[in-house]
């Protein structure tokens, strides 16, 4: 396994971005129901993202023809030919690290990918996406034998990593690895001082409990965490257990975590399939936060809570009823590229 001791760190999502990457959906993707509604939802999201920062859309040549036809009038959107199996770029895309010193540099960690423990074959094309994006950007790639999706990790940018043991310490992803081995590997690869192992999952979540559905850093020392107050709801017990666990954690600086609840809507289903609807699947970008909504009264409560932590960013609701038919939302389909130099209103890759 690669060991990096050369002064890189995993930046927090609220740090400046050079761009957001998105993988355009196509008919092989894992969405339930009428697929024609999915690209329409993606086009709305990409236009929204482009209000705040450049967007880089990937796909095969044929897929990009569809994307460009729906985004013809959109500025700040580039189309890059990198084929995919599916559209969940948070999980298949690169994990960017930023150098700590004055000489700014980005590198990419290329974690292995096996479609969430082998659930959705084939995944060979998706497994190559992170490396291809790195090569497109001319960035050095750090390889590892650890299987990990980007939605499984969350950082405060100050050396603390929040993860869920169920989707990393998992024999379908990392057989033969102990929790200690994985902790040491993540610390070494990502420049992390402390790994906090959370728990829980949402009914219908085929990722086995990605942390971006359950708990998110909104500032160093502070996380928002999903709760379900209805005791009859299948999400109540696992979310309560995770909430209690989070309140026991100290971060890399020795601070007890301040844990702020966000209540999730009750069961949202497509036919007889429960979907994992979570307000925690928001995406922080330059000047804004895009929050998934589900046409429920609790939408406004979640938005108000998130707004408290980002008073200088625009909080933008985005209906995620189409995206969750693929069992994900806004954060799952986006992947931020950190900026290493800011010029005026634009943050660019130097």
Query: pTM for this one?
Result: 0.95
Contact assessment for residue 85 and residue 126, using Cβ atoms and an 8 Å cutoff: yes
Backbone phi, then psi, for 232, in 5-degree steps? -85, -10
Q: Is the pLDDT of residue 20 over 90?
A: yes
Mean pLDDT of the residues in the chain: 94
Quote the Cα angle for 37-320-347, to 5°: 105
The mean pLDDT of 217-222, rounded to a whole number, is: 98
CA 4 to chain centre: 23
User: Cα(18)–Cα(350) distance, rounded to whole angstroms?
Assistant: 9
User: Cα(76)–Cα(102) distance, rounded to whole angstroms?
Assistant: 29
Q: Residue 349 — very low, low, confident or very high, per pLDDT cuts 50/70/90? A: low
The mean pLDDT of 235-243, rounded to a whole number, is: 97
Q: Characterize the bridge pairing of strands 273-275 and 215-219.
A: unpaired
- Chain segment 73-84, per-residue pLDDT in tens: 788 999 999 999
User: Cα(337)–Cα(257) distance, rounded to whole angstroms?
Assistant: 27
- The residues, ordered by sequence, that sit 6+ positions from 166 with a Cβ below 8 Å of its Cβ are 199, 200, 201, 208, 209
Of 237, 242, 297, 292, nearest to 266 (Cα)? 297
The residues carrying an active-site annotation are 332
Partners of 269 in the beta sheet?
Answer: 274
**Domains plus CATH for the chain?**
8-348 (3.75.10.10)
User: Cα(223)–Cα(259) distance, rounded to whole angstroms?
Assistant: 5
Q: Residue 7 — very low, low, confident or very high, per pLDDT cuts 50/70/90? A: confident
For helices 37-50 and 61-70, give the axis angle rounded to 10 degrees: 70
């Amino acid at each position: 396994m690669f060991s990096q001791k050369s002064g890189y760190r995993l930046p927090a999502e609220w740090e400046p971005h050079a761009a957001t990457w998105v993988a355009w959906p196509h008919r092989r993707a894992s969405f339930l129901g009428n697929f024609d509604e999915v690209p329409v939802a993606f086009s709305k999201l990409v236009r929204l993202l482009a209000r705040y920062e450049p967007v880089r859309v990937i796909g095969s040549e044929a897929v990009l023809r569809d994307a460009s036809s729906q985004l013809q009038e959109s500025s700040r959107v580039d189309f890059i030919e990198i084929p995919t199996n599916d559209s969940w770029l948070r999980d298949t895309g690169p994990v960017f690290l930023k150098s700590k010193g004055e000489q700014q540099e980005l590198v990419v960690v290329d974690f292995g990918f096996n479609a969430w423990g082998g659930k959705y074959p084939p995944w060979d094309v998706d497994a190559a996406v992170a490396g291809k994006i790195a090569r497109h950007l001319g960035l050095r790639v750090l390889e590892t034998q650890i299987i990990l999706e980007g939605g499984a990790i969350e950082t405060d940018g100050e050396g603390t990593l929040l993860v869920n043991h169920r989707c990393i310490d998992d024999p379908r992803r990392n057989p033969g690895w102990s929790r200690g081995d994985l902790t040491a590997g993540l610390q070494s690869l990502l420049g992390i001082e402390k790994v906090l192992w959370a728990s829980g999952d949402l009914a219908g979540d085929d990722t086995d409990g990605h942390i971006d559905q359950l708990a998110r850093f909104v500032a160093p020392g502070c996380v928002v965490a999903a709760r379900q107050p209805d005791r009859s709801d299948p999400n109540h017990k696992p979310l309560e257990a995770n909430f209690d666990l989070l309140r026991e954690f100290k971060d890399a600086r020795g601070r007890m975590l301040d844990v702020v609840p966000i209540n999730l809507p009750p069961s949202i289903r497509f036919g007889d399939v429960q979907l994992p609807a979570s307000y925690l699947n928001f995406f922080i970008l330059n000047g804004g936060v895009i929050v998934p909504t589900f046409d429920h009264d609790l939408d406004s409560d979640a938005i108000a809570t998130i707004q408290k932590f980002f008073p200088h960013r625009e909080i933008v609701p985005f209906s995620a009823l189409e995206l969750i038919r693929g069992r994900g939302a806004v954060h799952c389909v986006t992947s931020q590229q950190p900026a290493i130099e800011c010029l005026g209103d634009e943050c660019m890759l130097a």
